[in-house]
Structure 1
């Protein structure tokens, strides 16, 4: 600046045109890259609603704290209606976090702005790398929530070698981060075959009035009373929980136990970031096949699946998910499906046996265990 003073140019401001400030002979510049300045710029873009010049915007605000590459990053993606819910997960994860927020409508940027104007909300994101994604609404692609694309954005902005992808409704146990960063990282570094450490997940009924469980000991009575239950106990998460409660006495001293891959399984896991080469398949939108497809890929690559015994993640029971835009109202009109499209493609690459548990140490024994799950006790 010709007056020798430093100025701040916010994101989205490409030139100086104020009557009180002329920009010429610039000697130094501070570029303000903050959440609120980013929101302000996107807000202006959304307010114009000029379909001819509208552009997609994706902007990342880096965390103010750096972490070691040998750390574990928690990755989450969600729309603005999940901002409050994610606070519980953020509160128990002391390590690196990357968050991707999808603006499903023009009005979402207003809600996002109001959220961060509340006292203390900006401070919650000081150590979080945040990416805000505004699609090009005129293309109408935003009517299908791009869940796997957003997950991939979060993974790509993570700076560590180990990744834990969750959904915004889930809350991990408070000691999971410490266990993962100190115990699991060394194991993942030398795992041969490669391993995925699975985090069991449960649902808590909305009418439950007590303290949410943070340990297996606290969880067990809720399971027995029916206040907590297995999240999708069939193919979705059944393989995880059969061993969690059937085999506790057998593996009492082990911090984790092995389970075999089963078709349509969709576990949450902590892995080396190499597990995301290739990334989640972005052709999956909304719900259905998004996580299943990646677990199938890891199995085809020979990954071993190890379930943690003393840690889990929970979420509050909720009615049927209402996705952004048209979402799942267009039942049967998905552009890309797991069985019709993805599975045949994978069979061409990995062979017809790709759903056989390739990395499992004792697949026949594990299958027999699942068949006898009725004899288990908690």
Structure 2
């Protein structure tokens, strides 16, 4: 529980409460000074005003009314912030939502995929490209705020959003809800005919101009207003000529003020200073502003139940100074790590049409037999995993003769990332299978690692965990689809490539003139070490010495020799040039292929035959396999995964895998006809030999 406020005189409170209620009943007809005494942080009534003004509002809203929310979001980090904000909204909401996301190309690619795979009922998402507005709309405004130009785009929302959209809540990405957003939406019912903007008073002294000597803020009404949470009555703003209004004000003030310091907030406040009748003053609880300078925020609340929206409006974000910051931080972290899968629930009493993908999945799930021994496999195949692409910033320019290492991992393999980065300096695309909480653990892991934090050409894509089996091929497909180079090296996270392999592969692609249209798979011979400590070979000669000494072995020579025997290691020892090998049953080499290669078959989940099926598909499409004479990669030992343990211990698990193989071969026969008979024959021979 947060500390309670000091006692206040009943008579004064009653008088001020009447003023506050009068404002909400009669809109902006009360002069601003009287309103400020009733509702601002300087008034003694602040907490009572918040309670009396907020609590009844939810009941004023028509049941199942669609609420519109606009958010400006650009870049990788901002996209992560949006997810936490949306989680907090979804947790409390009881109404359908329509999200209007103004994004750059980076954020749009991330968030389109996220919402498509999240499949939250009764949530629509529309995207608007920031590039359409930046050039002429706001790029002429000098701005020193850390948000750059993007925050200024809130000024153009009345013209950027659809003309038939009448009202919208505008939110910064660094806010967290602690209440139902419908209560905030209900304040639209209290706008007077002349009011068009709803805002909370600024909780710092910034606009008072007394923070330091020669401090010159933009003009504002009293303390001014914070624009982290805004109610915009869009059609009224359009009719009033909002665009002309804010541009004239901004151009005039920029003659004497060199730039905006707080982006859109400075211009909103300057306009409101000249036109105070535009604004409805919202209770401070709907934008509790947390930064080192917002000490007045502490006077806004007395109990945890007071909180509505928490706003981390400081570059320091969660590291701000506030006596209750630990409480606020924990509330924020709750949503940061909250399982987003739980928010896929239907709205009670508000029927909605599910997304087509969700509807198809539900129909398919309804036909499954829960008593079937392979039910888990079938269920996992139908699972749609939330996907957050490019979880961390990426700086990578495509190159014609370049290759991306593609792999997947779970949280228990994080410790292998640093070693992999030291061996492979080139671009990587990695899919991580994590819970929401593990995703934050991963983020802290990267930030604490000098090796990982120094890399800007590694793309991490989070696939959120759901279901009992590891969706290995789906993860590979996510990583593969995001590669930006002409070729990809399809590897596994527990393999360390030769130190020279990246440059060698680039040179080989160029020397062999392997265009992205040529169906060639370059085979990288695989070896393994049984020792956790290995003096990693720096050349083929050193590797052969370790192989002869028994410190290294060809990969899985003892338990799965057919997986790599066709590589012909004896020939590789002497080879000076690439040589061609033929496909054979159960062959699963690590290969370099064009980025447009066939995708992995996602029906194979857990352990077993997932890479084999992909190599079969490559062969069926007439890829030639060329073994590179100087290439190698080495498997490093680690504890067995849960899925391989189940494969080894459960006959039922292996029976289900056999069923998947049969189904795969049937599909091959339908797709490739008589040419696929050799794969079925090879499968039958393999079974008869075992």
**TM above 0.5, one fold?**
yes
Structure 1 residue 355: Cα displacement: 6.8
Post-superposition shift, 1:50?
7.8
Other-structure match for 1:373? none
Partner residue in 1 for 2:552: 228
Partner of 2:227: 22
Report 1:333-372 matches (<5 A): 333=653, 337=658, 338-354=660-676, 356=678
Cross-structure match for 2:413 = 82
Q: What is the rounded CA distance, in whole Å, between the counterparts of 2:428 and 2:621 in structure 1?
A: 27
Q: CA deviation at 1:198?
A: 0.4
Quick one: which of 87, 107, 129 aligns to 2:459? 129
- Offset at residue 231 of structure 1 (A): 1.2
Counterpart CA distance in 1 for 2:554 and 2:500 is 21
Does the aligned pair in 1 maintain the 2:411–2:442 contact within 8 Å? yes
* Residues 245-264 of structure 1: pairs in structure 2 closer than 5 A: 245-246=570-571, 248-249=573-574, 251=575, 253-254=576-577, 256-264=578-586
CA gap of 1:319–1:82, structure 2 versus 1, over 3 A, is closer
Using CA pairs under 8 Å that are at least 6 residues apart, name the structure with larger relative contact order, 1 or 2: 1
Structure 1 residues 50 and 163 mapped into 2: Cα distance closer, same or farther (>3 Å)?
Answer: closer
Change in 2 beyond 3 A, CA 1:59/1:171: same
Cα distance change, pair 100–124 in 1 and its aligned pair in 2 (3 A): farther
| Alignment size in residue pairs | 332
Contact 1:43 1:109 in 2 (8 A): no
Residues of 1 paired with 2:432 and 2:172: CA distance?
Answer: 22
Call closer, same or farther: CA 1:116–1:42 in 2, change over 3 Å: farther
Alignment of 1:195-210 (within 5 A): 195-206=520-531, 210=534
The answer to whether the 8 A contact 2:407-2:493 is kept is yes
What is the aligned partner in structure 2 of residue 213 from structure 1? 537
In the TM superposition, what are the counterparts of 1:1-378 in structure 2 within 5 Å? 6-8=145-147, 14=173, 16=175, 20=203, 21-23=226-228, 27=264, 44-47=335-338, 51-53=342-344, 56-60=386-390, 61-103=392-434, 105=435, 107-120=437-450, 122-135=452-465, 137=466, 141=467, 143-187=468-512, 189=514, 194-206=519-531, 210-233=534-557, 234-240=561-567, 243-246=568-571, 248-249=573-574, 251=575, 253-254=576-577, 256-276=578-598, 279-323=599-643, 332-333=652-653, 337=658, 338-354=660-676, 356=678
CA shift, 1:96, in A, is 1.6
Deviation of 1:15 after TM superposition, in Å, equals 7.0
State the partner residue of 1:368: none
1:315-353, Cα deviation, whole Å (9 max, x unpaired): 123453334998877663376655321122212222354
| Cα deviation, residue 268, structure 1 | 0.7
Q: TM-score under structure 2 normalisation?
A: 0.43
Given the superposition, is the C-alpha separation of residues 125 and 261 from structure 1 closer, same or farther in structure 2, using an over 3 Å criterion? same
TM-score normalised per structure 1? 0.75
Relative to structure 1, is the Cα distance of residues 205 and 70 closer, same or farther in structure 2, using a 3 angstrom cutoff? same
Q: CA deviation at 1:13?
A: 5.9
| Aligned-partner SS, 1:229 | strand
Aligned-pair CA distance for 1:189: 2.7
Identify which range, 303-312 or 45-54, moves more after superposition.
45-54
Cα distance, 1:149 vs. partner? Answer: 0.9
Question: Structure 1 residue 134: deviation in Å?
Answer: 1.7
Deviation larger for 344-353 or 315-324: 315-324
CA distance in 1, matches of 2:464, 2:647: 17
* Residues 109/324 of structure 1: CA separation in 2 closer, same or farther (3 Å cut): farther
CA distance 1:160–1:44, shift in 2 (3 Å): same
Distance 1:113 1:190 in 2: 36
Looking at structure 2, the residues matched to 118 and 15 of structure 1 have their Cα atoms a distance apart, in angstroms, of 23
CA contact (8 A) 2:486 2:516 kept: no
CA shift, 1:267, in A, is 0.8
Whole-Å Cα distance in 1 between the matches of residues 425 and 397 of structure 2? 12
Alpha-carbon spacing, 1:266–1:44, altered in 2? closer, same or farther (3 Å): same
Q: What secondary structure does 1:47 align onto?
A: coil
C-alpha distance in 2 between matches for 1:237 and 1:324: 19
Greater helix proportion: 2
| Partner SS, residue 408 of structure 2 | strand
Distance 1:43 1:356, change over 3 A: farther
Cα shift at 1:185: 3.7
- In structure 1, distance between residues paired with 2:174 and 2:477: 33
In structure 1, how many angstroms separate the alpha carbons of the residues matched to 2:172 and 2:647? 35
Deviations 1:282-312 (A, max 9, x none): 1111221111111001111111111111110
**What CA distance in whole angstroms lies between the structure 2 residues aligned with 1:229 and 1:311?**
15
Cα 1:325–1:288 change in 2 (3 A) is closer
State the alpha-carbon separation in 1 of the partners of residues 583 and 627 from structure 2: 11
Asked which structure has the greater CA Rg, the reply is 2
Shift of 1:79: 0.9
CA-atom RMSD in angstroms = 3.7
Does the CA contact (< 8 Å) of 1:258 and 1:305 recur in 2? yes
Q: Following TM superposition, by how much is the alpha carbon of 1:114 offset from its aligned partner in structure 2, in angstroms? A: 3.5
Q: After superposition, give the CA deviation of every residue in 1:96-143 in whole Å (9 maximum; x if it has no partner).
A: 21122110x4542353144124241552442212212224x4xxx2x2
